[in-house]
Chains A and B, each alone.
Chain A
Amino acid sequence: MTAAVLALTASGLSLVFGIMRVVNVAHGAFFMLGAVLAWFVSEWVPGPAGLSFAVALVVCPLIVGAIAALADTVVLKRLNYEPEATIVATIGLLYILEQAALSFFGPDARPVPAPLSFRIQLPWFGYSGYKLAVVVGAALVLLAVWLILKHTKAGLIMRATQIDRDTARAFGINVDRVYAGVFAMGAGLAAIAAVLIVPIQQAHYLMGGDPLLLSFIVVIIGGLGSLRGTLVAALLIGLSDGVISTFFAPTLAKILATLLVALVLVFRPQGLFGRRAA
C-alpha cells in the first residue's frame, strides 16, 4: 500500500527530474494541494462518497497540474532551468503553496470519506478493502504513464527532449510546452497519489513534508531520473521500511535509513539500479 502510493508520488518527481533536470522541492506541496482540493470537492459535490471521489480524482490532478504549468511558465522557464536557481525557486513555491493552504483551508486536519468501506477481516488482524483498491488504482495509473511515455507521440517528444533539448528544439519541438507539460504531469501524479491516500489519512496543510522526503529517497535509490529504478526502489523501500523498524527503535531506523540513502548518493550517484553515468 505504502509502496504503491510512494511509487506514484516518486514517479512524478522522477519524471520531472529525468526530463527537465529540475529537482522540484515543491513536489510535496503539490501532493498536499491534491489532498486539500479533494477535501473541497468532497464538501461541494453532493451525493455518495464514491461520486465525489471520482470527481476529485479527475479534477484535482487537473487543477494541480494547471498550477504547476503556470509556475513553470512564470518562474522556472525564466530561470532557464538552471538547477540551483530552480531549487531555490521551488523552495519559495513550497512556502507560498503551504501558506495558501493555511489561509484558505485552515490549520486543522480534515478527513475525506472513502468511496469503499468494506474490510477484509483475517483471524489475527484486519485489512481495509479500500487500501487494496488503492494499490490497484496506483498500478493502473503507473501503467498509463508508462504507456504514454513509450507508445505515444507525446511520450516520444518527451523522451527526445530529455536526451537533447537543443536538438529537439531544432526539430521544431516546442520545448517550453513540453517542459510545462512534464512539470504539470509530475505534479498531477503527486495529486492523484494524494487523492487516493487522503481517505486513509486526512488533508492537512503540512502533510507534504514526509512524502517529499520519501520520494527523494526513492528517486535517489532508484537512480535519478530512471522511472523503472524508481518503481523498484519504491517497492523495496515501501516493504523494507517495516522490516527495518522491527529490528531497531523506529527513530533509530529512520536515522540509519536517511544516512544510508545519503551514502548511496555519495558512493553510487547513479543509484542502485541506474546505469553508469553516460
Chain B
Amino acid sequence: MTRKLITTTPTRRSVLKGLALGTGALAATSALPRFVQAQSSEPIRVGFQLHRTGIGASYGRWYERTASAALKVINDAGGINGRPVEIVFEDDGTDPKRGAEVVEKLTAQSNCDLVMGTLFSHVVIGSAPRAGELKVPYLVCSEGHHVASGMLNRWTMQPGITDVKSQVQGMAPFVTSNLGKKITMIFPDFAFGHDHRDYFTAAVAAQGGEVIKHIAIPPTETSFTRYFPQIPSDTDVIYHVMVGPAVLTFVKELGEFYGSGARPQLFGFIDSLEAVDINSPGLEFLDGSHFWEGHPRYKQEDASEHETFYRAAVGVDDTGASVSDPADVSTYAHMFSTWETLFVVKDAMEAAGYQGPADRQKVVEAIEAMTGFDEGQAHPQGPKTFNGKTHQAFGLQSITKVEGGRLVRVHQTSMEDGFYPDEVDYTTMSF
C-alpha cells in the first residue's frame, strides 16, 4: 500500500480506499490494543467477591492486596484495551448465600463486566449458579475440584490455580518414593477433607503405596490429642490437611504427642499454616517435615526476576510476610491466583475485543481458546497448561522442607504428574 502511494500519483479516491482498508484491517485484528479506537474510555470494572469477614478472612485480606497490586501493574501499563481498570471489592462473609447475592450486586448494581475472586469452595458452588443465570464470567481462585468435576457451568472458570485433585496426584509420587509407603491421613470431616481422602488415597495406590488409616476430625474440634493414639504404629508418613483456626493447636499437640522421640515423617498441606508464622512457638516440631506449597512462601535461591517483581509489587518480603509488619504472614500459596487471574482477564478481554457487557460471552470463549500461560510477570508462580474444556488450569507444585525455620524447596512436580482424564466438556454446554 505504501509503495503504491509512492510510485503512482495518488488520487483522492485511492487514498481514501487505502485508509479504509487500513482501519478495516485494524478493526478486524481485534487482538491489537485499541488505544485509539476504544469507543469508551469508561473504566472496565472487575467485581471481586472477597472473604473480608467469616472463616476465610485471613485469605480475603491477602487476596485483596494481591489483586490490587496486579491492578496497579495493569493500569500502569495502559489498562485493558486502553481503558483503565477498576476492581469493586464486596464482602461475601465467607457464606454461600451472601456469595450469590454479592455476584448479583456486583453484576446488576455495580455494573461490573465480570466477577472474580473467592477461595472457599462452598461460596464458589453457592454463587456459580447465579453467575450462570446472569451470564457473567465468574473466574474463581479456589483450588477446588468443583470446576473440573463438571458440577458448575459454562460461565465459571478457574484459570489461575491448579485444582486439588491435580495437586494431590502430582505430589503422591514424591511422598511414596521419598518418605514412605504406609500413610496415615488426618483430615477435616467435610468436603475439602474428603477430596483429599479420595484423590490422595487413589493416587498413592497407583504409586504402589497404601493409606493404612483415615482419621476424620469433626469440623468443630478444638483439641486433637485424643485422636493421635489412633495413628497405627507402623505408619511411615502422616499426611495432614487440617484447615481453620485450630490448626496451630493441631500441630502443637501432634508435637507434644511424639515429643523428641521417634516419629513418622510428616507431610502437610500448607493450607494448615497459611497466614501463620512457621516459627511460632510450639511449631519447632515441624522442623524437617515436608509441605505442599502452591507457591513457596520463602523466596528460593533460584527465584526468577518475576518472582522478585511480584513480591515487591504485593508488598511481601523474602520470608512471605508483609513488608510493613513481619508478624503479618501472607497466604502465599494461594494468593498468586488472583494476580494471575487478573492478567488472564486482561488477555481474554483484549483477545475478544471487549467493548461492554454484550461481549461477555466472547470473554469466556477467549479463555476457552487459551491453552496455557508462560512464566512471566503475569504468571510469577510458573507456567501453566489450561484446559478449555474443563475450564481448569494446571501448574507446577512445590514440595518444601522446613529447614532452620525456612521452607526450602526440595522437589517440583512436572506438569504431567497432575493431569487426569477430562470429566466434563463445558464447551458443549449452551451459554
Contacts and interface: CB of A to CB of B under 8 A. Distances in A.
Co-assembled chains A and B? yes
Interface of A: 2, 99, 102, 106-109, 111, 113-114, 119, 121, 125-128, 131, 199-202, 204, 206-207, 209-211, 213, 241-242, 245-246, 249-251, 253-254
Of A107, A113, A211, most B-chain CB atoms within 10 Å: A107
Instruction: Using C-beta atoms within 8 Å of the partner chain, give the interface range for chain B.
Output: 35 or more
18 contacts: A107-B60, A108-B329, A109-B246, A109-B247, A111-B282, A119-B259, A121-B259, A121-B260, A125-B229, A126-B256, A126-B260, A131-B256, A200-B253, A201-B222, A246-B230, A250-B217, A250-B221, A250-B227
A99 B282 CA distance: 28
B356 to A, nearest CB: 36
Contacts of B256: 119, 126-128, 131
B57 A102 contact: yes
B264 to A, nearest CB: 13
Given A102-B53, A119-B259, A125 B228 contact: yes
A200 B252 contact: yes
A235 B282 CA distance: 27
Contacts of B226: 241-242, 245-246
Contacts, number: 95
Contact of B220 (A2, A121, A126, A210): A210
Of B220, B228, B328, the most chain A CB neighbours within 10 A belong to B220
Contact of A107 (B61, B221, B222, B281): B61
Contacts of B253: 200
Interface string B379-404: 00000000000000000000000000
Contacts of B261: 121, 126
Interface string B30-74: 000000000000000000000001010110110000000000000
Given A102-B53, A113-B281, A125 B218 contact: no
B280 interface: yes
Given A108-B276, A207-B245, 10 more contacts: A106-B57, A107-B61, A108-B328, A109-B58, A109-B275, A111-B281, A126-B260, A201-B248, A209-B220, A249-B216
Contact of A2 (B223, B259, B282, B328): B223
A195 to B, nearest CB: 16
B189 A207 contact: no
A109 B245 contact: yes
Contacts of B260: 119, 121, 126
Nearest to A242: B226
A200 B256 CA distance: 10
B431 interface: no
A121 to B, nearest CB: 5
Contacts of B216: 249-251
Contacts of A202: 245, 248-249
A239 to B, nearest CB: 10
A109 B280 CA distance: 11
B258 interface: yes
